Each structure stands twice: as structure tokens, then as C-alpha cells.
Structure 1
Amino acid sequence: MMTTDIPATDEPQAEVRDLKPAIVNGLRLRCPKCGEGKLLHSYVKVNDHCSACQQPFHYQRADDGPAYLTILIVGHLMGFALHIAWVNWRPEPWVLATTMSVVAVVGALALLPRMKGLMIAYQWAKRMHGF
């Protein structure tokens, strides 16, 4: 006969962290906990803590994840855009290359900080790395 012993703890049950609101706040570049304080103080530099609720952010380990997600999303969108533009309009190759390059760079620059916010919010909601 097998028994399972569950150790009794006096710790209160950890609060539940909803993933969806945290992700939305992260995409808005706001604190995943309160949604008020700024997550980043520079283009992709993370604040030490939230200015509104004092949630520390130094636990985050986004590393190369935001860049990977940005390349994945922008690359797929640009592949479809390139195909559609070439099939429908047949622009000159230099026009197509220049246009697609500008759109890809602008898209990547706009998306990168939001992907960093998304990853930090996900880590906070899932209690990863000490959050």
C-alpha cells in the first residue's frame, strides 16, 4: 500500500496571478502586477522596480527571447507581404527590396520592446526566476 505524505506548511496560499492581464500589461510596457508603472526606462532596459507598486523586476531573465520572437513574427509577416506584393503588383526589384527592408526594420524596432514586456510579464505570472 502506497501512502503520500503531504507536508503541512504554515505559509499562506500564494496569490493567483492571471496570465492574460499580465500579458496585456506587458505588451503595453507597463508593470504586469499593477498595470500602472513603466516596465522599461529606455528602449529595452528594464526598470529595477515598478514606480507604482514597487514590484521588483531584477528577477527577469528575458535574454534572447524577445529578439527571437520579434524575428519570428516580423519574418513571417514579411514573407507573406513579399509574396502578395510580388504576385499582385510586380514592382521593380529595387523598389520591392527597399520597401520591404524599411517595413521590416520599422516593424522589428516597434515590436522588440513589446516582446520584452511580454516575456517579463509571462515570467512574473508564472513565478519564474524568483518572481
Structure 2
Amino acid sequence: MAEDHAHLPSPYSTGLAGRCPRCGEGKLFEGFLKLRPRCVACGLDYGFADSADGPAVFIMLIAGFAVLGAALAVEIAYEPPIWLHLVIWLPLAVIVCLALLRPMKGLAVALQYVHKAQEGRREQ
């Protein structure tokens, strides 16, 4: 198994950068979150990739923990009015989620490729 992965670039660097998990050169995304059908550099078919809601769930947990923690700290220290909380924390939560979504989806796809993850099937 180690021999198979010896020539592959790191799934963490390629996934977070939005690059092909096999060659590390071609772009993974066609739009903001839409995957290309295949790598333009090495021809890898991205049909295997199905990250589903995994990246979004992790991002909501991470961003929710960070933004809520910061909001609670500000509330305890300064007691600002509720409208100020909304003006500060809602845009910050949206920005953090959007900033992390694409790299996390790329990482999920790269890890799927490296570990040969695929949909579960029943043996007949």
C-alpha cells in the first residue's frame, strides 16, 4: 500500500490548494464548489469524488465554536447591545464558513482518492 502512494503528492497540500490529488497540477474545481469532470493535466476522472455534506458539517462545527466563543467572550467582557452582536458575528460566521468550504471539500476529495474510498455496496 505504501508503494502505491509513494509517488502521489500530499493529499493535504493538493486538497487544500484545490489541485488534482494524483498529479498535483490540474485544478480540481470548475466553479466555487463544482468539481471538474477530469483533471486537465493527467486526465484523472473525478467521478469517484462524492464529499456530500461532510465538509459543510465540519466547517459549521469549527466556525460555530470559534464565532460563538468569541461572541460569548465579547458579551462577558463588554456587554454590547444585541444589534452590535448581529452586525459583527453574523457576517463573520458567513465569511469563515465560505472561506473554509472550498479547501475542506478539496481535502475530502483528495483523501477519498488516496484511500480509495467509495460508496458502500452489499455483496450478493
Report the TM range for the smaller structure's normalisation.
Answer: 0.7 to 0.9
> 1:23 maps to which residue?
12
Please provide the CA RMSD for this pair. Answer: 2.2
**Which has the larger Rg?**
1
Q: Is the 8 A contact 1:23 1:32 kept in 2?
A: no
Distance 1:65 1:17, change over 3 A: farther
2:45 corresponding residue in structure 1: 56
The TM-score normalised by the length of structure 2 is 0.84
Residues in 1 aligned to 2:46 and 2:91: alpha-carbon distance in whole angstroms: 33
- Code of the residue aligned with 2:10 in structure 1: it is P
Note the alpha carbon deviations across 1:25-68, whole angstroms, 9 max, x for none: 10111112222111111111011111111111111111111211
* Residues 33 and 20 of structure 1, relative CA distance in 2, 3 Å threshold: closer
Whole-angstrom distance in 2 between the partners of 1:76 and 1:18: 37
TM-score normalized by the length of structure 1 = 0.80
Off by >3 Å, runs of 4+ in structure 1: 17-20
Give how far 1:90 is off.
2.4
Q: How does 1:10-89 map to 2 (within 5 A)?
A: 15-16=4-5, 21-89=10-78
Pair 1:110-2:99 in alignment: yes
Cα distance in structure 1, aligned partners of 2:101 and 2:54: 10
Kept in 1, the 8 Å contact 2:9–2:22? The answer is no
Superposition deviation, residue 103 in structure 1: 0.1
SS in 2 for 1:15: helix
Show structure 1 runs of 5+ residues with no match: 1-12
Aligned twin of 1:8 = none
Instruction: Call closer, same or farther: CA 1:87–1:39 in 2, change over 3 Å.
Output: same
Q: How many residues align?
A: 118
Q: Which segments of 5 or more consecutive residues in structure 2 lack a partner in the other structure?
A: 120-124
| Identity percentage of aligned residues | 32
